Chain A
Amino acid sequence: MSELGTVTFGLLLIAAAVGGAAVLTWFERRLLGIWQDRYGPDRLGPLGIGQVVADMLKLLTKDDWVPPFSDRFVFVFAPTAIVVAMLLGFAVVPFAPQLYVLDINIGLLFFLGMTSLAVYSVLLGGLASNNKYALLGGLRSAAQMVSYEVFMGLSLMGVVMLTGSFSLRAIVEAQRDLWYCVPQVLGLFTFLIAGIAESHRLPFDLPEAEHELTAGFHTEYGGMKFAMFMLGEYLGLILISCMITTLFFGGWLGPWLPPLLWFCLKTFALICFFVLLRGAIPRPRYDQLMTLGWKYMLPLTLLNLVLTGALALLLEGQRHV
């Protein structure tokens, strides 16, 4: 792609991602409604899609208040960080053979780095609020990051091993014969769980935990700053879905339909699955979360790593014979 084309596509991508996140707030509520035998927001516009506009107007007209007891600079900076980090994460996602902003040979590492940066936002937000609940939320977020970040990266090493590259386009191309969700089923499972924990989605939304910590790290936030946190969360959800599609479900690969459509369909299905997780599974206790991370997920990931290594060596050996 030309320089201009890349820039245009980048801007379009930002618009699409932010717009998608906004629509997702409504879509998630409708979907949860269906699964909980109710309607959800269905009053404004066709199917209630006007709810997105109404929510946005409401948030925009709210008082943009910074608590006098907070650390002002960090308080304002925190919600921006999560959105910026998540949007940067989108840069390496290959949507179709020629549709991407950035194709670097360490795309996967770049993605992992960006999602890890997003944790800072939650941490700093909780710390800068100077509020007990917010601090507890930030604390939980830090502990969650430590437990889940470890095997999040490791769970993807199987994919890298089979492909032999960190480039996301190479990873998709390597899945032409067989999607990695089959040989890397353990990796998929662990990455899925780490991904939920990373984006603070419901089964692992302990930093937020409405009914124990009021709203956790964003207790003191309101108006557009709160909206930024929400935007960041939904962007994270989309990003994780995109990454799972790319790494385990063959990215744009698929018969008959155009590549971009295949990518969007797979991502959409994964988003629906994440919403289903939110609708079905209760939040674990704090120590249960840590136990799951350290005692089950990490060994499982290491086992996957060893098995994949053996498999890769075996295939290598057969090729040489």
Chain B
Amino acid sequence: MFSALRSQLRTLWTILQHTFSRAETVPYPEQQPYLAPRYRGRIVLTNDPDGQERCVACNLCAVACPVDCIALQQGVKQDGRWYPEFFRINFSRCILCGMCEEACPTNAIQLTPDFEMCEYERSSMVYEKEHLQIDGTGKYHDYSFYRVAGLAIAGKDKGEAQNEAPPVDVKSLLP
């Protein structure tokens, strides 16, 4: 009985001491919270360091997406580069899980620290490629997929990529 009473009184005293401690709340619209650079917010498509789009329309992001909110169609340019003819993300479905970013082999699709995407109409939440594409390189400034990949494009033939040996002529006996 007395220990219970003491415990209750101690609780009261502890709570009373909180009169002088600061509120943890961040008054949001006036004071913006700190968002880490790797925060998972609005999705963007990024460019190579030389300014060409990174996305090769491999569809891995669409496959990885647990809510199937990504839709895209592959096309091939004159110089041999692959690119998405359209790229559509339905943000009213997107759960910002970041699995597309993990799946992406070219670092094209990236999540940004921006979550303020309120709209009055649901159709406004469907972002097309021109809404998603940004001019910069996002989080990875030096990476360029075509410089390390084996695919031949105009101006870079087979075997000319970084860390890639020239192709072996399998029909020749010479070393």
Interfacial residues, chain A to chain B (CB-CB below 8 A): 33-39, 42, 276-277, 279-281, 296
Is B18 touching A35 in the complex (CB atoms < 8 A)? yes
Q: Chain B 1-45, CB within 8 Å of chain A: the 1/0 string?
A: 100000010011011101101111101000000000000000000
CB-contact partner of A280 in B11, B19, B21, B27, under 8 A? B11
Residue of A nearest to B22 (CB): A37
State in angstroms the CA–CA spacing of A50 and B18 once bound together: 25
Can you report 23 A-B residue pairs in the complex whose CB atoms are below 8 A from each other?
A: A34-B19, A34-B23, A35-B16, A35-B18, A36-B18, A37-B18, A37-B21, A37-B22, A37-B24, A38-B24, A38-B25, A39-B23, A39-B25, A42-B27, A276-B16, A277-B12, A279-B15, A280-B11, A280-B12, A280-B14, A280-B15, A280-B16, A281-B8
The 10 A-B residue pairs whose C-beta atoms are closest, nearest first, are: A280-B15, A38-B25, A280-B11, A35-B18, A280-B12, A37-B24, A39-B25, A35-B15, A38-B23, A39-B23
Chain B min CB distance to A264 (Å): 21
Complex interface: chain A residues within 8 A of B25 (CB): 37-39
State in angstroms the CA–CA spacing of A39 and B24 once bound together: 8
Residue of B nearest to A295 (CB): B1
Interfacial residues, chain B to chain A (CB-CB below 8 A): 1, 8, 11-12, 14-16, 18-19, 21-25, 27
Residue of A nearest to B12 (CB): A280
Complex interface: chain B residues within 8 A of A36 (CB): 18
Chain A min CB distance to B4 (Å): 9
Chain A min CB distance to B110 (Å): 34
Is B23 touching A37 in the complex (CB atoms < 8 A)? yes
User: What would 19 more interface pairs be, CB under 8 Å, given A276-B12, A280-B14?
Assistant: A33-B23, A34-B19, A35-B15, A35-B18, A36-B18, A37-B18, A37-B22, A37-B24, A37-B25, A38-B24, A39-B23, A39-B25, A276-B15, A276-B16, A279-B15, A280-B12, A281-B8, A281-B11, A281-B12
Complex interface: chain B residues within 8 A of A33 (CB): 23
Chain A min CB distance to B56 (Å): 48
State in angstroms the CA–CA spacing of A280 and B11 once bound together: 6
State in angstroms the CA–CA spacing of A36 and B24 once bound together: 9
State in angstroms the CA–CA spacing of A296 and B21 once bound together: 36
State in angstroms the CA–CA spacing of A34 and B17 once bound together: 10
Chain A min CB distance to B152 (Å): 61
Residue of A nearest to B10 (CB): A280
State in angstroms the CA–CA spacing of A281 and B12 once bound together: 7
State in angstroms the CA–CA spacing of A37 and B25 once bound together: 8
Residue of A nearest to B13 (CB): A280
Chain B min CB distance to A182 (Å): 19
Residue of A nearest to B1 (CB): A296
Complex interface: chain B residues within 8 A of A280 (CB): 11-12, 14-16
State in angstroms the CA–CA spacing of A289 and B16 once bound together: 24
Complex interface: chain B residues within 8 A of A37 (CB): 18, 21-25
State in angstroms the CA–CA spacing of A42 and B25 once bound together: 12
Is B19 touching A35 in the complex (CB atoms < 8 A)? yes
Complex interface: chain A residues within 8 A of B8 (CB): 281
State in angstroms the CA–CA spacing of A279 and B18 once bound together: 11
Residue of B nearest to A288 (CB): B4
State in angstroms the CA–CA spacing of A281 and B15 once bound together: 10
Chain B min CB distance to A34 (Å): 6
Complex interface: chain A residues within 8 A of B21 (CB): 37
State in angstroms the CA–CA spacing of A236 and B116 once bound together: 44
Complex interface: chain A residues within 8 A of B12 (CB): 276-277, 280-281
State in angstroms the CA–CA spacing of A271 and B58 once bound together: 66
Chain B min CB distance to A12 (Å): 33
Chain A min CB distance to B22 (Å): 7
Chain B min CB distance to A105 (Å): 37
Residue of B nearest to A273 (CB): B12
Complex interface: chain B residues within 8 A of A34 (CB): 18-19, 23
Chain B min CB distance to A177 (Å): 29
Complex interface: chain A residues within 8 A of B15 (CB): 35, 276, 279-280
Is B16 touching A39 in the complex (CB atoms < 8 A)? no
State in angstroms the CA–CA spacing of A222 and B15 once bound together: 33
Complex interface: chain B residues within 8 A of A38 (CB): 23-25
State in angstroms the CA–CA spacing of A281 and B1 once bound together: 16
Chain B min CB distance to A306 (Å): 19
Residue of B nearest to A278 (CB): B15
State in angstroms the CA–CA spacing of A279 and B23 once bound together: 15
